[in-house]
Structure 1
Amino acid sequence: MSLPDPVHPGAEAVPHLVVRSHPVEGVAKHLLDHLPADGALAWVRRGDGQVGWGVAARLDVAGSNRFATAQEWWRALTAAAVVRDDVGVPGSGLVCFGSFGFTDQDPAGLVVPEVIVGRRGRTTWVTTISPASSLAAPPELTVNDPAPVGEIAFADGARSGTEWSAIVADAVERITSGEVDKVVLARDLVAQSDQPIDLRWPLKRLASAYPNCWTFSVDGLIGATPELLVRREKGLITSRVLAGTIRRTGDDAHDLALAASLARSSKDLEEHEFAVRSVAEALEPHCKSMNVPETPFVLHLPNVMHLASDVAGVAANGASALGLAAALHPSAAVCGTPTSVARDLIAEVEGMSRGRFSGPVGWMDASGDGEWCIALRCGQADPDDPTRMRLFAGAGIVAGSDPDAELAETNAKLVPMRDALGI
């Protein structure tokens, strides 16, 4: 049963915030080093990005209007805020972090932290955000070391590997019969520690091992995703589409041969074409012009290689980064084609709630610019048990899919989080 749509918040529902961004020196080489023990907000890539802590304002939403509700709340919040931005780069000034679950019933919301430490190139800054009635003093930045997570035991989540492979085989039969063209099926793994998990530990390991990915932390959802759902920056819209995966072996010569086979694989090229087409069709109404590559390139990551395409366009209207993310979600890369049929099939056979996995996660500033990625290669901390996390991975299923190969693909995609939780 669907949840009722929430009432859209008006201007009276938002706090009046005072925001100040100013350049600073002495910021640590790794922004994540500044997160305190209760810090939970991060967005970093190649050393740039921002981390935050505290809560100056937040919105929790659900229902079919969740994206529209969030955008309306953000417009009201930014209109009521007093902002002094002495930095003037993307990510300075008033910023929110956010994550949205895969379905309308999954958790979603926006968070405005009290403190943000950011870096972009050679520019570093601190932003303080507080109610107008109690102005915040600039924080003293410290370097904080996370605690190791202790001994970790991994166990099957909703489905065992064998059960999940059987579901894939059934999906292939449905695709062959013409019921659906492509469906993305996910599985989960439970990580259990013998002590509370300090999220800063896996975050730092993810950022170090996967510098070309976007390492994120929002509301207990952490990960390092390679897939940029959408970026809007000064009128330019970009999206990186990934679909088609092969596991690396660690042997450079062999991996080059595997990359070449991936680039020629009819099964993977078909899966990739579905994903690119869905992104291009969703962005087209919002772009004056678009560049959609005819052929993908192979993106090399430490654990896997993906077929990748960078779609770019010039903005034609005032759609915010979050509005563009809403138009794109769920893309064929996380759901399937046709979308409605694939979504129904996922609900029927997956046997679990994805929660925030495979939904948009990212940040946005007061102008509507920002970055939203797809929450992949990630884990969700259990809000009721600090020693437990759920890890997620999925695979795109098309007519040529082999269940054992797809299971192996999900195992490869679980490697980043499994390794990040290690000692």
Structure 2
Amino acid sequence: MSLAKIKGHPLKGAFIHFIQEINGSTLFSYVEKVEAADPIRFYERGKEWYKGERFYFKDRDSEMTLAGLGSVHTIQHGPKKRFAGVESDWDALMKQASVHNPYDVYGTGPVAFGGFSFDPAQQEGEEWSRFAPSFFYVPELMMTVYGGETYVTVNMLCDGAESGPLFDYLEKRKKWILAGNDLQFDKEAVLEKIHTGDTSVWKKSVQSAIQAIESDDELKKVVLARKVTAVFDQAIEPDRVLRRLGEGQPDSFIFSIEAMDSCFLGASPERLVKKRNSTLLTTCLAGSIARGKTEEEDQRLEMELLTDDKNRIEHDYVVQMIRREMQSMCEEVMVPTEPIIMKVRDIQHLYTPVIGTADEHESILRFVERFHPTPALGGLPAQKALHVIRELEPMDRGFYAAPIGWMDYRKNGEFAVAIRSGLLVKNEAFLYAGCGVVPNSNPETELEETNMKLRPMLRAIGGSDE
């Protein structure tokens, strides 16, 4: 197709000039405002062309949702450069990019979506083989819903004039995905069995963690997790699971990222960090209790949580760590003196929101690296707790309990902590939940807490009616 044939779109002239001038692979990105559309449906419609290369991210307040299809550029790094390498590669790509974004709306334009492994020093699990210690990709098509308005970003990696036909090609795909009818799901996979692991062995690990804390004056807390494996009669449909998560956990971050035949997804109540220009938001979320079956019981449990010494101590560990890191990187930090309660469907948490003012030119990844893992996910102090986790957890956490989210070309973005999550690989679902172990922990109580935290994912995959 000649360049003359792609004229007609307002940006095609800029695109033609761009591909005639570039030397080497360079990103061309443009944003258009479109009629209101459902990002979940956009995600599902993209399955026909982009299965294995899709992502979804809805923030906890439902203020913004991203749905990405395809991958024009992938960023992956091993353990030694998993944060710095991603930032360096992203900066290099953006330095040469041509971005046409007249709206300048948060979450539009070139975005890299992905995440990091919890601890690359843990033993590697075969189920996580599709995910590098840091794994991000730039979508070919992305829908952003923000402030009640809908935008579509189109990204093209071009390498010269022969890229001319790409513009029309992606425009046609975009229009088909936006205008098409709903797709029918495949027949739902039937759950055949659930492997909970040997819970007696896990409780012994909790007791060992308690002993490790009691024998070390510096070690205050260790977070131990467990894995439950669900086996189905056929491959699990991620789209169906994602819809159920969104419907069942509307007050949580809803996320999904595909890597070939694997899909990691979940419904997390916890923000790690959000950066918008110079404003920085983070969350201290530690200490939890079940929801009540009646309003009266729910309020009683809320007061029990607010006055429970163990939970308040766990929460304070996170607040102290976040305050310290924020003060070292921000000009101004605001931390409430007392936690409040965050309620989601199955559980309520002690919650302290923290706000800071930072250098707007600082990358969000710098904060992600400094905050991960918080004492809510690893323990305190971090390195000693990680050593105990490596000794006592016979599994690879992969992306569980680690940062997952997005960053844009202005160094803004948002990352959640990937808890209440699971990994779908063909006909298996690997579900994860953890608990904070301190000196007065009770192994049986901690096991019950993990069962409670597994409910959202079990329900979403069809393994629980609770």
Three-state SS of the structure 2 residue aligned to 1:346 is helix
Sort the Cα spacing of 1:56 and 1:123 in 2 relative to 1 into closer, same or farther, 3 A: same
Matched, 1:339 2:353: no
Which one of 7, 19, 27 corresponds to residue 37 of structure 2? 27
Contact 1:237-1:315 within 8 A present in 2 as well: yes
Q: Which residue of 2 aligns with 1:7?
A: none
Q: Which residue of 1 aligns with 2:295?
A: 252
Counterpart-to-counterpart distance in 1, 2:315 and 2:331: 24
More helix by share: 2
Sort the Cα spacing of 1:419 and 1:14 in 2 relative to 1 into closer, same or farther, 3 A: farther
Matched, 1:150 2:189: yes
Contact 1:35-1:200 within 8 A present in 2 as well: no
One-letter code aligned to 1:41 = F
Structure 1 regions of 5+ residues with no counterpart? 1-11
Structure 2 regions of 5+ residues with no counterpart? 1-21, 122-131
Sort the Cα spacing of 1:313 and 1:408 in 2 relative to 1 into closer, same or farther, 3 A: same
Counterpart-to-counterpart distance in 1, 2:75 and 2:295: 47
Matched, 1:297 2:340: yes
1:289 is displaced (CA, Å) by: 0.7
Matched, 1:110 2:136: yes
Contact 2:292-2:301 within 8 A present in 1 as well: no
Q: Which has the greater radius of gyration?
A: 2
Contact 1:181-1:398 within 8 A present in 2 as well: yes
Matched, 1:308 2:351: yes
* Residue pairs, 1:154-233, within 5 angstroms: 154-156=193-195, 159-178=197-216, 180-219=219-258, 220-233=263-276
Q: Which residue of 2 aligns with 1:402?
A: 442
1:31 is displaced (CA, Å) by: 5.2
Q: Which residue of 1 aligns with 2:460?
A: 420
1:248 is displaced (CA, Å) by: 1.8
Counterpart-to-counterpart distance in 1, 2:432 and 2:73: 29
Matched, 1:77 2:117: no
Sort the Cα spacing of 1:55 and 1:33 in 2 relative to 1 into closer, same or farther, 3 A: closer
Sort the Cα spacing of 1:319 and 1:395 in 2 relative to 1 into closer, same or farther, 3 A: same
Contact 1:184-1:335 within 8 A present in 2 as well: yes
Q: TM-score, structure 1 length as denominator?
A: 0.92
Q: Which residue of 2 aligns with 1:9?
A: none
1:14 is displaced (CA, Å) by: 8.8
Q: Which residue of 1 aligns with 2:429?
A: 389
Q: TM-score, structure 2 length as denominator?
A: 0.84
Sort the Cα spacing of 1:232 and 1:299 in 2 relative to 1 into closer, same or farther, 3 A: same
Sort the Cα spacing of 1:144 and 1:387 in 2 relative to 1 into closer, same or farther, 3 A: same
1:240 is displaced (CA, Å) by: 1.2
Counterpart-to-counterpart distance in 2, 1:205 and 1:147: 15
Which one of 95, 112, 116 corresponds to residue 111 of structure 2? 95
One-letter code aligned to 1:291 = M
One-letter code aligned to 1:197 = I
Contact 1:223-1:379 within 8 A present in 2 as well: yes
Counterpart-to-counterpart distance in 1, 2:360 and 2:37: 37
Counterpart-to-counterpart distance in 2, 1:14 and 1:358: 38
1:227 is displaced (CA, Å) by: 0.5
CA-based RMSD of the aligned residues comes to: 2.0
Counterpart-to-counterpart distance in 1, 2:460 and 2:91: 37
Three-state SS of the structure 2 residue aligned to 1:64 is helix
Counterpart-to-counterpart distance in 1, 2:23 and 2:374: 32
- Using the aligned pairs only, state the percent identity: 30
1:33 is displaced (CA, Å) by: 5.7
Contact 1:147-1:198 within 8 A present in 2 as well: yes
Counterpart-to-counterpart distance in 2, 1:71 and 1:14: 21
Aligned residues: 408
Q: Which residue of 1 aligns with 2:66?
A: 50
Three-state SS of the structure 1 residue aligned to 2:428 is strand
Measured against aligned partners, the alpha-carbon deviations of 1:224-274 in whole angstroms (never above 9, x if no partner) come to 111100000121001012111111232221111001000000000000111
More off after superposition, 136-145 vs 69-78: 136-145
